[in-house]
């Protein structure tokens, strides 16, 4: 290959007796490397088997469809949600997304049942798969058809459609939102004055680890919540201090949000504030 590049360079530079051939070879090599990296980005396509699958690059564009099934590994916890922006680039409507638990391999896939699956249509769309396991699962992007080998070898990937004889290109971008739960700490049942302060505390938990994000505390007054504090989590706990503000009975609500974590809410019991 390098010899051919040298010959091309020498012919191009024959008038100067190949004095610039070295520079030209370097330029051609760099250009070829750039073109190769553009044509085949790392991790852009899935594997043809579960055993050879690499981890799904979350938040990055993935392209595939050059084979009947594209396999990717994805690490999940129970309750996690995979949000996928998917685009099937052409007809027919025969695309499926399946999520398999870590016990599924190439050897038992024919007898396995997906924990979550969805039929995708041509064109851009947003779909969601939900995990029921902890560990490294498998995402299968299947383009089914009557002439595809998986109709016999992969029964879970069969489609009821009979008009899908071609392998259809697709692109997708996936993100994971971890299951999150919020709970209120203890609050007094009553306060003697609206000027008294409440110590608000909420615990944010997830099977995937310690959530990081923001807690918004609100006082529920009829149908209109009133914001009383906004604070960040620290070791999975949000704390704030707020005045009762008014007489009567009110409950408090906390709303947790964080990148990569599902939104979670919790509501406290009512606190009776007396005049004073």
Q: Hey, what are 207's tokens? A: 């099977």
Listed by start position, the domains of the chain span: 2-39, 61-177, 181-273
Cβ atoms < 10 Å from Cβ of 41: 14
Bigger pLDDT: 216 vs 165: 216
> What is the per-residue pLDDT across 164-195, written as a single tens digit (0 to 9) for each?
555 567 889 999 999 999 999 989 888 888 88
In order, the DSSP letters of 69-121 are EEEEEEEE-TT-EEEEEEEE-SS---EEEEEE-TT--TTTGGG---SEEEEE-
What pLDDT band is residue 148 in, cutting at 50, 70 and 90?
Answer: very low
> What is the per-residue pLDDT across 38-73, written as a single tens digit (0 to 9) for each?
333 444 468 889 999 999 999 999 988 777 788 999
Which residues touch 95 (CB under 8 Å, ≥6 apart)?
Answer: 86, 88, 119, 120, 121, 141, 142, 143, 168, 170
Contact predicate 182/203, CB 8 Å: yes
Q: Which long-range contacts (CB under 8 A, 24 or more apart) does 42-51 make?
A: 45/70, 46/70, 46/71, 46/72, 46/141, 47/71, 47/72, 49/106, 50/100, 50/104, 50/105, 50/106, 50/109, 50/138, 51/105, 51/106
Contact predicate 191/271, CB 8 Å: yes
Q: Hey, what are 108's tokens? A: 């038992």
61-177 maps to CATH 2.40.50.140 = no
Q: Is the pLDDT of residue 34 over 50?
A: no
Q: In CATH, what is the architecture of 181-273? A: Sandwich (2.60)
> What is the per-residue pLDDT across 231-262, written as a single tens digit (0 to 9) for each?
999 999 999 998 888 888 889 999 999 999 99
């Amino acid at each position: 290959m390098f010899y051919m590049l040298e010959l091309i360079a020498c012919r191009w530079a024959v008038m100067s007796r190949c004095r610039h051939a070295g520079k030209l070879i370097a330029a051609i090599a760099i250009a070829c490397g750039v073109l190769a990296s553009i044509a085949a980005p790392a991790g852009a396509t899935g594997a043809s088997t579960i055993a050879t699958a690499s981890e799904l690059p979350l938040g990055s564009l993935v392209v595939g469809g050059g084979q009947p099934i594209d396999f990717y590994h994805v690490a999940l916890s129970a309750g996690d949600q995979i949000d996928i922006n998917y685009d099937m680039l052409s007809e027919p409507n025969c695309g499926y997304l399946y999520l398999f638990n870590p016990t599924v391999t190439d050897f038992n896939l024919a007898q396995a049942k997906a924990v979550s699956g969805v039929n995708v249509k041509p064109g851009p769309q947003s779909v969601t798969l939900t995990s029921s396991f902890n560990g490294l699962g498998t995402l299968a992007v299947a383009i089914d058809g009557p002439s595809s080998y998986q109709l016999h070898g992969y029964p879970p990937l069969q489609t009821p459609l009979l008009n899908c004889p071609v392998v259809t290109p697709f692109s997708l971008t996936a993100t994971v939102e971890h299951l999150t739960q919020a709970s209120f700490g203890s609050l007094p049942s009553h306060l003697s004055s609206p000027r008294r302060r409440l110590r608000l505390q909420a615990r944010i938990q997830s099977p995937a680890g310690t959530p990081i994000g923001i807690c918004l505390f609100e006082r529920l007054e009829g149908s209109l919540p009133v914001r009383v504090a906004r604070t960040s989590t620290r070791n999975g706990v949000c704390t704030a201090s707020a005045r009762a503000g008014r007489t009567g009975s009110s409950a408090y609500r906390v709303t947790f949000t964080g990148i990569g974590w599902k939104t979670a809410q919790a509501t406290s019991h009512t606190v009776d504030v007396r005049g004073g």
